[in-house]
Amino acid sequence: MAAAGPFSEAERAAVYRAIETRRDVRGEFLPTHVPDAVLARLLEAAHHAPSVGLMQPWNFIVLRDIETRRRIRDIVMRRNAEAAAMFEDERAAAYQRLKLEGIVEAPLNLCITCDRERGGKVVLGRTHQRDTDLLSTACAVQNLFLAARAEGIGVGWVSIFEPDDLRPVLGLPDRVVPVAYLCVGYVDRLFRRPELEARRWAKRLSLEDLVFAEGWDRPWRFPPEG
């Protein structure tokens, strides 16, 4: 066991700053190489995520080769045309204007996968909730996002494809699911608020409308600020 008191004020501020200023980045990646030593820190952060039964279902595929990334970008462009066709009228036009991936612009891509058989047939904590392995992998993704923010590195999550689309390109075995496809690279500017909000696609909800006390729909009273 180790001491578990609160962080110093500066340490606390740094943690909240990483959380609050993290952004999903689609454009504006700098071409600067992300050194392997820095990447190793990000992967270490991801690998420190909680996981059901400590099954650590993740793997990390590091993609720097431009040809592989072009193949994946082509898949995303094809799937994006399908997605675009699902919106109507003004929404369709607005969708077309959004930049939703930086696969080729970012110098580095990462695919974070979930091995659905890691840990064997019976895993502590997963017996009644099969998808907790996927949820655990998402925790690893978020750890990486936050560590990247602290390093001045932007991350953009791309999900505009069928998971099976990536299987032949990355040689994924059947038991392995690609959970997150990430564009990664240094950034010198970040949107202050979600880019989709800045571009008037969607709005951040008010936290006060999302917190209940003792049951569904009974608002929790936030303490007055200050």
Ligand X SMILES: Cc1cc2c(cc1C)N(C[C@H](O)[C@H](O)[C@H](O)COP(=O)(O)O)c1[nH]c(=O)[nH]c(=O)c1N2
In the set 26, 69, 73, 118, which binds ligand X (CB under 6 A)? 26
Interface residue with ligand X, options 34, 106, 160, 182 (CB under 6 A): 160
- Choose, by CB under 6 A, the member of 44, 159, 199, 203 that binds ligand X: 159
Establish if 24 lies at the interface with ligand X (CB under 6 A).
yes
| In the complex, minimum distance from the CB of residue 56 to ligand X, in angstroms, rounded to a whole number | 20
> 27, 125, 163, 194: which one contacts ligand X (CB under 6 A)?
194
Distances (CA, A) of 49 to 37, 105, 143, 144, 148: 19, 28, 6, 9, 14
Q: How far is the CB of 123 from ligand X (least distance, A)?
A: 23
Query: Any contact of residue 157 with ligand X (CB under 6 A)?
Result: yes
Between 121 and 200, CB nearer to ligand X: 200
Between residue 31 and residue 70, which ones bind ligand X under the rule CB under 6 A? none
Map residues 96-115 to x or -, x wherever contact with ligand X holds by CB under 6 A: ----xx--------------
Please pick, from the candidates 62, 169, 170, 196, the single residue that binds ligand X as defined by CB under 6 A: 196
Stretch that binds ligand X, among 12-20, 21-29, 105-113, 117-125 (CB under 6 A): 21-29
Q: Which residues bind ligand X (CB under 6 A)?
A: 23-24, 26, 100-101, 157-160, 194-196
